[in-house]
Structure 1
């Protein structure tokens, strides 16, 4: 099949034209290998044991291969990182090396961070706009640039969004029949627990307990439940609970594998907000993993099944739709050089789902609503932020499941997720 370009491709091409080495990071199955190998003259696959053994015996031998050289799953032989770094010190010719990694190596595994030599690029699962079932009419880059024009119409409705939550943004899983897809998601999670975490050097004594913790984390999707709440929910009814240090180690390992993708709290620059919470909102790499962990189906989600964990109100479906929107916005925002965070005051009286900050420190504020209509109540937190942050606000947007993109009389843009693109 022909390679289908993604939002990240323009960013990667620009880097390759000017920089000698790029490392593409992200969870397994997000498409790192497919994206990088189309740009490579040679490929070194370090997920193969026989190849690993040869390279580990003489890491510098990789420099004999044609370039651009793709080193796939480089973290399996961490010494190659330092080989690439030294090669770049000697020769700054652009586009020599591509490295992909599905895990952050243990601290001390490499002699040097690679700063200034190897540029890191994050890759996530497919944004909604990359899934081939919609034609976006509203550009996120345009919104960040102050473009006031917002228009377009879509036939995508709530059941279609639910179908996309379940279908997964992992490219290799797209189009599988539901039964096979469920099996692949189960295998993904089981392999993480049984193989990937031990490869990080952490022994998992009770795999079932770790999966229970992941289920509780999935129930906290798009919320700010404390890690204590997540642990308590995962061990309800257990007489012997794992130590907090143990679950903290598991959590760190899952983040190193990019399986957890929490959204940080916003820390505004040059403006005092003294009552902002610093708790992240919780997200797994792909909302489909959360739905699978919770045992949900398209039908049960539409029937309102599931109990969310944490202080935020709403349904599990609302949380998963917000996670899908968050994934999509993060993919597009990275391309636009914008950082993504969330805002919540400590007492919870104000919350804004997504705060995008451009390189000049100005803000695009986004609320996500599982609704095909928008009310004044849906816009109240955006109005509050406008009053509090003034001319630092570029624009205000509500992402919803409606049929049309438009601007309200108060200037807030209403954009169905299906119409939001690069």
Structure 2
């Protein structure tokens, strides 16, 4: 396979190659236009033992629907792009790999969380590995190491980060650009806005209708715009239903669908026995800050700017977690006493790294209020607390606490 001159290496490529070496079915799952097909082709290279099918192509889709068994009757690796378009293949893939347990028999890509679709049976437990592909991280775009999460768990309060040349306006530009390949390649805000409009039209006419029978598309579009204005806020179904004059059950169904197709992400609330007053409401964020920014064009205030910056940071953390060695889970924290933390990472050992995001170029001691509260309640489990802000340098705020530039997310290497 020959790669284009603008090919940007993806960190997920090593994950896919490793999975193909020991797993029967490898699934690359993610939003439309994140580069799943390009990644799969890169991982397969010029191998001659690969059969390739593209289910966006009418002839391939028709053949798969007509006779799934014959369609999959081939040696070597079978690559199927957009596999969710023919659910009938799922059980047949199970039958094939049950008879032939050779690793790397199937490489599949899909533009939805496949096993969340009602039309696809959960047929591959123990036989498959799913690798989520998100839009580009900043480290992938710039060639930076993208190692903050691992470094934070290894170094804790001893973590040291680089001085940054970026300022608030630069971070807002990066958040507004987002990480979709087609948006990154476009040079102006006007062209990125056109990409966002086309992208949303595409998922409404294709992904949404593949996943569910939506009768009122206008309500779905209004909900998407409303969610963009509230990105990084707590998800309140009743408030959304009242604002849009839509039944609560419909709002719940639509939010679930938007999560299935990777437009949004629900960040679960975190709680522990030591913090029993925590609220259980998830936080809703757009998977890509660039799409949220385009939907918010002309609606700019301190709330939307802060939400967009937090969405940007959570997006970078989400991407980094897919290859991080720390095996951490992402949550947010808020309790009934008014303490909150934007992002909380907990590893399998129970260690917590907490992050607060500020869309400002200065930091104050009170910005650490939620972080210090968690440290008091968790004791030794609290590993480190960071305020990520739009300034230029790292600032110490006592043991276990530090203010760091947002760029530390992608410029910090994993310690050797």
TM-score, L = length of structure 1: 0.87
Q: 1:387 aligns with which of 362, 366, 376?
A: 376
**Aligned twin of 2:47:** none
Q: 1:378 aligns with which of 367, 382, 397?
A: 367
Residue 398 of structure 2: which of 386, 409, 418 is its match?
Answer: 409
Q: Tell whether 2:212 aligns with 1:201.
A: yes
Change (3 A) 1:139 1:294: closer
Q: Mark the CA change 1:417 to 1:65 in structure 2 (over 3 Å): closer, same or farther.
A: farther
Which consecutive residues of structure 2, in runs of 5 or more, have no partner in the other structure? 45-49
Measure the CA separation in 1 of the matches of 2:383 and 2:20: 31
- In the TM superposition, residue 116 of structure 1 has moved relative to its aligned partner by 0.5
- Tell me how large the CA RMSD over aligned residues is: 2.3
2:306 equivalent to 1:306: no
Instruction: Give the C-alpha shift of residue 247 in structure 1.
Output: 2.7
Q: Which residue of 2 aligns with 1:397?
A: 386
Within 2, Cα distance between the matches of 1:181 and 1:65? 42
Q: Where does the alignment leave 5 or more consecutive residues of structure 1 unmatched?
A: 236-240, 297-304, 308-313
In 2 relative to 1, CA 419–209 (structure 1 residues): closer, same or farther, beyond 3 Å? same
Alignment pair present for 1:346 and 2:301: no
Answer whether contact 2:237 2:248 (CA < 8 A) is retained: no
**Does structure 1 retain, via aligned residues, the 8 Å contact 2:274–2:377?**
no
Q: Say whether the 8 Å CA contact 1:137–1:152 is kept in structure 2.
A: no
What is the total number of aligned residue pairs between the two structures? 397
d(CA) in 2 for partners of 1:261 and 1:353? 14
Pick the aligned partner of 1:357 from 346, 363, 368. Answer: 346
- Matching residue of 2:28: 24
Divergent runs of 4+, >6 A: none
Deviations 1:147-193 (A, max 9, x none): 52313122122121111122121112212133222112112112222
Q: Deviations over 1:271-296 (max 9, x none)?
A: 34221111111112211111222224
C-alpha displacement of 1:91: 2.9
Residue 152 (structure 1) aligned with residue 142 (structure 2): no
Structure 1 residues 220 and 111: CA distance shift in structure 2, 3 A: closer
Paired position in structure 1 for 2:289 = 287
Alignment of 1:1-400 (within 5 A): 1-2=4-5, 3-40=7-44, 41-65=50-74, 67-104=76-113, 107-132=117-142, 135=144, 139-146=148-155, 148-176=158-186, 177-205=188-216, 207-233=217-243, 235=244, 241-268=245-272, 271-296=273-298, 305-306=299-300, 314-336=302-324, 337-347=327-337, 349-400=338-389
Q: Secondary structure at the match of 2:215?
A: coil
Normalising by structure 2, report the TM-score.
Answer: 0.88
